[in-house]
Structure 1
Amino acid sequence: MNNEQIGFEWKVSNNYFNKNNCESDESDEREECNEPKKKKNRKLNTAQKREEQKQEELRLRKAEEELINIETNPQNADHFDRLVLSNPNSSLIWIKYMACHLQATEVEKARVIAKKALSIIGAREEQERLNIWTALLNLENLYGTKDSFKQIMDEALRCNDEYQIYTKILDLFAESNKLKELEEIVTKMNRKFRDSIDAYLHCASVYFKLNKAGKARFILQKALSHLPIKSHVSMISRFALIENSEGSSEEAQTLFEHILTSYPSRIDVWSIYIDMLVKSNKIDLARHALERATIQKLAPKKMKSLFNKWMMLEEKHGNTESIEKVKDSMNNYVNLVLKNKK
C-alpha cells in the first residue's frame, strides 16, 4: 500500500507521542481552566439580561407616565408637538397649543400654530376646522388689528359656512363688548340672512345677554317685516321663549296670548306656551291656560292632546280634586260630541 494514499505519516520520531501528548495535556488544561470561566460568564450574562429587562421595563413605565402627564398637563412646545403628532385632528389640543404661546405673549407663534392646524386637520373634519377658525378669529379680535381681523374674517368666510362664521364673530364681539363692531355684524346678518328665523333669533339673544332688551325686540319687528306671513307664528313663539328666559316673562306671556288670540287652534303653540309656564314654575297660569284651551270647539284629536297634557300636569302638580276636575271636563266634552252627532 502506498504511504501517500494513507493520508498520515508512518515515519514517527521518538518524541512524536511525547510531543502530541504534551499538546493534548495543555489543551485539556486550558479547557479545564476556561470551563469555570465560561460558566461564570453565563451566570453574569443571565443576571445582566435580567437587569437589562428590569431597566427596560422601568424605562417604558417612565415613558408611559410621562406621556400621560403630557396628555393631561402639557407644559411646553415639545409636549404639544408630541400631542398633535398623535392626535392631528384634535382642535382642542391645537387650541391649547395656541393658548400656551399666548400665555407667554408669543402672539405670532400662536398664529403660526393656528395656520399649521388648518393645514393638517383633515378636510372632512369640518367642526374641528371651524373650532380652529373661531380660535384664530378670537386671537385677532383680542391681540390683532382691525386689518388683521378683517383679513382672517374674509378668509374664514371663504372657507366655511358664512352663517356659522358670522354667528361666531357676533358672539366674540359680544364677549369683548365691542358694541360698534357688533352692530355692524347684526346689520350684515339681517341683510344676508333676511329669510332665516335662526339668524334673527341669534341676534336677539345676543342683545338680551347684553341687557339691551329694546334692541332685541326691535329685531323681532324687523324679522316680521321681512319674513313671510307663514313664518310669523314660529318666529314670535320662539322669540317669546328667549324673552322669557333672558328678558321679561310678562312680555313673553303677552306674545303667546297674542298668537293664541289670532290662532286658537294652534295646539303646538298651546303646548309650547304651557311648557314654558310649567318650566317657569307658574303652575296656576299653566292650569288656567289649559282650561281655556279645552273649552274651545276643536277636533277630537286636538282635544285629546290638550286633555292628556292637562291630566299630566295635575298628576304631577295637582291633587285629587284637580284630577277629578280634568276628568269631569273630559266627560263633558265627550257628552257634547255625542250629543252633536245625534
Structure 2
Amino acid sequence: MDKKRSNDESCKLSLSVQNLGFEWNVNINYFNKHENESDGSDKEEYEEPKKKKIRKLNAAQKREEQKQEELRLRKIEQELIHIETNPQNADHFDRLVLANPNNSLIWIKYMACHLQATEVEKARAIAKKALSTIDSREEQEKLNVWTALLNLENLYGTKESFKETMDNALRSNDEYEVYKKILDLLAESNKIKELEEIVTKINRKFRDSIDAYFHCALVYFKLNKAGKARFILQKALSHLPIKSHVSMISRFALLENSRGSPEEAQTLFEHILTSYPSRIDVWSIYIDMLVKSDKVDLARHALERATIQKLAPKKMKSLFNKWMILEENHGNSEAVEKVKDSMKNYVNLVLKDKK
C-alpha cells in the first residue's frame, strides 16, 4: 500500500514538473538530442565582442579634446579648493579629514557644522572620532579637540557629562593645560560658581607655579573682579618661595596696569624697588610700563631716582642708556644734555672713589 502511494506521488511530481516545461527524467540521450540546439547559443554567448574601431582625430579635434580635459580638471581643482576653504556639509568634511587627519581645526569646524544644525550627538561623535584618529604624538592637536569637546559639554551637556569629559581630558593631557582651558571656557560662559571651584583646585594642585596664580588672576580681571584677582596675589605670596615674590609681583603689576588700576600697579613697583633697589630688570620693566602708558614724566622721574644710586658700573650703564633712549624719543636737546651731565658726574664720582 505504501509502495503504491509512493509511486503515485512520484507520478504527480513528475507531471507537475512536466507541466512547467521541464523534463524530470534526464539521461545521456537527452544531451545527444539537444547538442545541436545548445551549440549555437553557446557560441553566441561566449563569442568575443568585436573590437571597437579607434576614432582617428585630426589636429583640431585633438586640441579641442585636450582643452575640454583641462577645463574638467580645472573645475575639479576649483571644487576641491572651495571645499577646503568653505566646506558646507558632512561629505565635504569627510573628504577634508581624510586628507588631513591630524588637523584639529578641520575636526572642530566639522563639529561646529553639526552644532549649527542642532545635531549635538553627531558633533560629540565627531569629536570622539577625531580623538581616536589624530596621531598620539600630536599632543596640541588632541588638546584642541578636547577643549572643543569640553566646550560642547559645557554649553549643551549635563553636569555629569561635563565632569566625565573633564576627567577623561585630565587623564589624556597635561593636567595644568586642561585646567587652564576649563577656566577660560567657564569664564566665557560666566559660570562663576564652577569657575571658583576650578580656581581652588588649581591653587591647591599647582601652589608653586607663578603662571597658575597669574592665570587665575587674569581670569578674574577679565570678569571685572579686581578684588578677587588681588586676593590671588596675596595667596600666591603666602605659598610661593620668597625668591619668586619679585617675579610674581612684577607680572601682577603689569596685569593690574592694563586691566585694573594703574595707580595700584605703580604702588606695587615702588614697593619692590624700595626693597630691591638694585634690581635693574625691575626698573626696566617699570620704566617700559610707564612709557607705554604715556606717563613719560613719571618714567623720567623714576630714572633720575635710579641713577643717583651707587650701583655697579655695568648696572649704571644700563640705566643711563635707558634714560638716554627715553629723552631721544620723547624729550628735547636740553633733556639729552641733562642725561650726559649726569653720566659725567657719575664717572667723576667713580674716579674720585678710586683715588
Pick the TM interval, shorter chain.
0.7 to 0.9
What residue number does 1:22 align with? none
Does 115-124 or 332-341 show the bigger shift? 115-124
Q: How far apart in 2 are the matches of 1:199 and 1:68? A: 42
Give 1:43 shift: 4.6
What residue number does 1:179 align with? 192
What residue number does 2:7 align with? none
Q: Where in structure 1 are there 5+ consecutive unaligned residues?
A: 1-39
Choose which of 257, 266, 284 in structure 2 pairs with 1:253. 266
Give 1:118 shift: 0.9
Q: Where in structure 2 are there 5+ consecutive unaligned residues?
A: 1-52
Per-residue Cα deviation, 1:201-256 (whole angstroms, up to 9, x for no partner): 00001001100000000000000000011111111111000000010000000000
Q: How far apart in 1 are the matches of 2:61 and 2:331? A: 80
Give 1:45 shift: 7.6
Q: How far apart in 2 are the matches of 1:166 and 1:255? A: 28
Which residue type is aligned with residue 226 of structure 2? A
Which residue type is aligned with residue 303 of structure 1? M
Choose which of 237, 241, 249 in structure 1 pairs with 2:254. 241
Alignment of 1:12-161 (within 5 A): 43=56, 51-161=64-174
Alignment of 1:271-286 (within 5 A): 271-286=284-299
Alignment of 1:289-304 (within 5 A): 289-304=302-317
Give 1:123 shift: 1.2
Which residue type is aligned with residue 303 of structure 2? L
In the alignment, structure 1 residue 321 sits paired with structure 2 residue 334 = yes
Quickly say closer, same or farther: Cα 1:255–1:42, change in 2 above 3 A.
closer
Which residue type is aligned with residue 315 of structure 2? K
What residue number does 1:263 align with? 276
After TM superposition, the score normalised by the length of structure 1 is 0.86
Alignment of 1:159-198 (within 5 A): 159-198=172-211
Give 1:64 shift: 0.5
Per-residue Cα deviation, 1:252-278 (whole angstroms, up to 9, x for no partner): 000000000111111111011001101
Give secondary structure in 2 for the equivalent of 1:230: helix
Q: How far apart in 2 are the matches of 1:226 and 1:42? A: 87
Q: How far apart in 2 are the matches of 1:159 and 1:222? A: 29
Quickly say closer, same or farther: Cα 1:41–1:302, change in 2 above 3 A.
closer
What residue number does 1:12 align with? none
Which residue type is aligned with residue 177 of structure 1? N
Which residue type is aligned with residue 64 of structure 1? E
Q: How far apart in 1 are the matches of 2:323 and 2:234? A: 33
Which residue type is aligned with residue 179 of structure 2? Y
Q: How far apart in 2 are the matches of 1:46 and 1:276? A: 75
Which residue type is aligned with residue 350 of structure 2? V
What residue number does 2:300 align with? 287
Q: How far apart in 2 are the matches of 1:50 and 1:212? A: 72
Give 1:126 shift: 1.2
Per-residue Cα deviation, 1:142-183 (whole angstroms, up to 9, x for no partner): 000000000110000000000000000000000000000000
Q: CA RMSD in A?
A: 1.5
Give 1:61 shift: 1.3
When the two structures are aligned, how many residues end up with a matched partner?
A: 303
Choose which of 307, 319, 324 in structure 2 pairs with 1:306. 319
Does 48-57 or 84-93 show the bigger shift? 48-57
Q: How far apart in 1 are the matches of 2:104 and 2:264? A: 41
Give structure 1 regions of 4+ aligned residues with deviation exceeding 3 angstroms.
Answer: 40-55
Which residue type is aligned with residue 276 of structure 2? Y
Q: How far apart in 2 are the matches of 1:327 and 1:199? A: 44
**Amino-acid identity (%):** 87
Give 1:49 shift: 5.3
Give secondary structure in 1 for the equivalent of 2:124: helix
Q: How far apart in 1 are the matches of 2:111 and 2:169? A: 18
Give secondary structure in 1 for the equivalent of 2:310: coil
Q: How far apart in 2 are the matches of 1:151 and 1:62? A: 46
Give secondary structure in 2 for the equivalent of 1:281: coil
After TM superposition, the score normalised by the length of structure 2 is 0.83
